[in-house]
Amino acid sequence: MNESRNPYAPPKADVGTGDVSVRPPRPPAVRIALALMAVVIVMSALQVISLVRPMSEAMISGLTFLLQVAVLAFYVWVFVAIARGRNWARILLLLFTLFGVVKMAFHLWGWLALPDGVHMTLDRMALAVAVFPILLNVVACTLLLGPARRWFKYLD
């Protein structure tokens, strides 16, 4: 039988000479966004560590602690996915950030809408720890959805 017309014969193409696409390096916008996200991860990890003592003294529930750990783990997962160039991770970060902005707006609105005669002292450090990660996430989303979008589209 003629080998060139055998439909069951393996292909004769040389598999070692194909075009190997090289992954482009991360643009500066992605590197800056990842650095900002790393700062948020460190801040969140420190916050989770600070909850260990109140949990052991029964000041907060274990469920609250586990929720904080789960949120941190989710954020680390999104960070790794963005570092690998996954486009869907940018959308998750955007949703995560929008949720944080809305949550913070409700908290601030609650503080500002106190009835007359009720005064609440606001710890500036606590406010900074609450607002700073959200601002970093907003900047990271802006970088990832703006200047870095070509890199993600190229990798898809």
* Domain that includes residue 40, residue range: 27-155
Structure confidence at residue 60 as a pLDDT band (50, 70, 90): confident
* Predicted local distance difference test score (pLDDT) of residue 2: 56
The rounded percent of the chain whose pLDDT value lies above 70 is 89
Q: Is residue 20 part of a domain?
A: no
Q: Is residue 17 part of a domain?
A: no
Q: Is residue 8 part of a domain?
A: no
Residue with tokens 């963005």: 82
Q: Is residue 112 part of a domain?
A: yes
Instruction: Indicate the number of domains in the chain.
Output: 1
pLDDT tens per residue across span 66-83: 888 999 999 999 999 999
What is the pLDDT of the chain when averaged over all its residues? 84
For the segment 124-137, the average pLDDT, to the nearest whole number, is 87
* Predicted local distance difference test score (pLDDT) of residue 17: 58
Q: Is residue 16 part of a domain?
A: no
19: pLDDT strictly greater than 90: no
Distance between start and end Cα atoms, the chain: 44
From residue 79, how far is each of 22, 36, 69, 106, 138 by CA, in Å?
A: 22, 10, 15, 26, 14
115: pLDDT strictly greater than 90: no
